[in-house]
Amino acid sequence: QVIPMDHYHHNLRYELPLKPSPNLPNYQSIRLYPSLCLFEGSQISIGRGTQFPFQVYGHPGYSDSSFSFTPVAIPGMDQNPKHKDQVCGGQDLREISPPKFTLQYLLQAFSDFEDKQAFFKNYFHLLAGNETLMAQIQSGLTEDQIRASWEEDLADYRQSRKSYLLYPESRP
């Protein structure tokens, strides 16, 4: 039997009492994870091998950045992080108020990356669920254009899940 919680709504903030992973050490990393996890299928580091994984992103080729970090082996976290022992210029997202999900970081990193053909690793499509997103990014689509391509499938999904929701849907 499922017992709904009184006074719950989807916009309530909940912080986990324990970190779910050594690479998700705090609320900020958990909130940024959906937007940064696609970087795992690219040449861009998302801060594994630092004390702030999933809160930054960068690459050794981004030398003109005002922020940098150096991934190193950290026992219990990551022994062989991407770009280990190399200074990565990039973006620090530790102090931003993260959106629920955005492609802006991925699109900006792709735009800034010199060798577009080498940006994506051969398994990016597995993380994205298909090859469409990579093709959309490579063809220069904006986040709004990419999101618009999802709308029909999202509408179908929202309709099919309605009978399973315990709480009213709230949208930002």
Q: Give the closest residue to 42 by CA, choosing from 129, 99, 117.
A: 117
pTM of the model: 0.90
φ and ψ of 92, to 5 deg? -100, 115
- What DSSP string runs through the chain? ---PPTT--TT-----SS-SBTTB-SHHHHHHHHHHGGGGGBS-B-STTSSSTTSEEEETT-TT-SEEE----BTTTBSS-TTTTS-EEEEE-TTS---SS-SHHHHHHHHH-S-HHHHB-TTHHHHHSSSHHHHHHHTT--HHHHHHTTHHHHHHHHHHHGGG-SS-----
Q: What is the mean pLDDT of residues 68-84?
A: 95
116 has pLDDT over 70: yes
HSE (side-chain half, CA atoms, 13 Å) at 117:
0
pLDDT digits (tens, 9 = 90+) for 27-39: 999 999 999 999 9
Q: Is a pLDDT exceeding 90 seen at residue 7?
A: no
For residue 137, which phi and psi values (nearest 5 degrees)?
Answer: -65, -45
Least confident of 55-59, 98-102, 156-160: 98-102
Give residue 124's pLDDT.
98
